[in-house]
């Protein structure tokens, strides 16, 4: 086996099938042993360099892939994310240095979409509040609200957004969509209406976010946007921490402006100064929170593991990952 086919995995829950796929294709696989309670995003530059020395492929979770890190790893040919976000990867540096960056496109769409519907139902039907009261001996009934036949605003219409729209059809929802790339054929086929963001916020009983985090979308939902929302609406964010100004959301929930929120991502994931805000949100009875686990079903992780592994093998074999997986390719002639 050639050392040029060394692959390091810094993600937990890497399944046997994906591991076998890599090894059957002459890859030497090393799965990083991370400290308890830590993810690869918690590792500093020096720790990552030590783990990745000599690696040609890296299957990564949430670690920051900086220019300095790539420069310190001259053997590294491909960074393959077991996920679909790539805001923590310096794509320009990857191109400059001749590297490939791939995402696991299509692997977790169903898992995250299921998670979204689950959060909508949990918040609207007040599952958390009801169970807590029962534990305290109060079995009185709290009145919730339906998802059926409500108006749902979907912000962003990528693969996950479309998967959510598909599921909402079973609830007979009226779906409004805000996207930078409206597709008239899709609207005719599904019955969604394309609207601008203020209109979507004013009309929606539920707002669910599925946009990437960019300088243009950072704090897309701030105090002004929340003030535009329909009173008593429910906000769902499973996309990226930073799309919502969590401090403003906290104020709105405390003031009773919104009925509740379902959160899987938080500003504090990238900005530790927001940690008290995240803790305060999670303490509210009308917030249902999860630790960025929307894609973390057994089936979803198995799918994304395999997509990430296939991209690694494709590059090490001198070929190309599926086009939808490639977000940067700095190899000559590509």
- Which CA distances in Å does 304 have to 62, 84, 203, 206, 311? 14, 9, 35, 28, 11
Residue 15 CB-density burial (10 A; 0-12 exposed, 13-18 middle, 19+ buried): middle
Which is the catalytic residue, given 240, 248, 303, 310? 240
Among 128, 133, 218, 269, which one carries the catalytic annotation?
269
Q: Please give, one letter per residue, the 3-state secondary structure of 241-262.
A: CCCECHHHHHHHHHCCCCCEEE
Kind and range of the H or E element at 170?
A: none
Q: How far apart are CA 54 and CA 93, in angstroms?
A: 19
* Tally of residues, the chain: 334
Tell me the C-alpha to C-alpha distance, in Å, between residue 116 and each of 113, 119, 162, 328. Answer: 5, 5, 12, 29
Q: How far apart are CA 182 and CA 141, in angstroms?
A: 42
Strand partners, 244: 221
Give catalytic status of residue 149 as yes or no.
no
Residue that has been written with the tokens 């599952």 in this structure: 127
Distance (Å, rounded) from C-alpha 77 to C-alpha 57? 6
- Asked if 110 contacts 163 with a C-beta cutoff of 8 angstroms, the reply is yes
The edge-to-edge listing of strands for the beta sheet with 206-209 is 193-194, 174-178, 151-155, 206-209, 234-237, 260-263, 287-289
CA distance 238 to 271: 17
Identify whether 292 is a catalytic site residue.
yes
Pick the closest to residue 227 from 205, 258, 200, 250 (CA basis): 258
Catalytic residue (one of 62, 64, 159, 292):
292
Query: For this structure, is 269 an active site residue?
Result: yes
Q: Which amino acids are annotated catalytic?
A: 240, 269, 292
């Amino acid at each position: 086996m050639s050392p040029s086919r060394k692959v390091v995995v810094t993600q937990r829950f890497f399944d046997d099938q994906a591991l076998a796929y890599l090894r059957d294709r002459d890859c030497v696989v090393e799965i990083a042993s991370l400290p308890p309670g830590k993810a690869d995003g918690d590792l500093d530059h020096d720790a990552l360099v030590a783990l990745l020395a000599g690696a040609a492929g890296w299957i990564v979770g949430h670690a920051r892939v900086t220019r300095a890190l790539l420069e310190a790893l001259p053997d590294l040919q491909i960074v393959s994310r077991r996920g679909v976000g790539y805001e923590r990867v310096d794509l320009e540096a990857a191109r400059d240095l001749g590297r490939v960056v791939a995402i696991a496109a299509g692997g977790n769409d169903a898992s995250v979409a299921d998670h979204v519907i689950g959060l909508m139902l949990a918040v609207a039907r007040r599952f958390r509040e009801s169970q807590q009261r029962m534990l305290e001996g109060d079995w009185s009934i709290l009145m919730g609200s339906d998802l059926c036949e409500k108006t749902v605003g979907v912000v962003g219409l990528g693969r996950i957004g479309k998967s959510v729209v598909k599921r909402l059809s079973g609830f007979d929802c009226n779906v409004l969509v805000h996207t930078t790339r409206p597709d008239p054929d899709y609207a005719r086929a599904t019955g969604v209406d394309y609207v601008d963001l203020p209109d979507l916020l004013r009309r929606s009983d539920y707002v669910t976010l599925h946009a990437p985090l960019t300088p243009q979308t950072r704090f897309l939902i701030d105090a002004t946007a929340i003030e535009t929302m329909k009173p008593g609406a429910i906000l769902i964010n499973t996309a990226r921490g930073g799309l919502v100004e969590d401090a403003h959301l906290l104020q709105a929930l405390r003031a009773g402006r919104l009925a509740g929120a379902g959160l899987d991502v938080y500003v504090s994931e990238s900005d530790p100064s927001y940690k008290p805000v995240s803790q305060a949100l999670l303490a509210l009875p009308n917030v249902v929170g999860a630790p960025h686990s929307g894609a973390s079903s057994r089936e979803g992780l198995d799918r994304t593991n395999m997509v990430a592994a296939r991209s690694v093998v494709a590059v090490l074999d001198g070929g190309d990952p599926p086009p939808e997986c490639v977000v940067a390719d700095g190899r000559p002639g590509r």
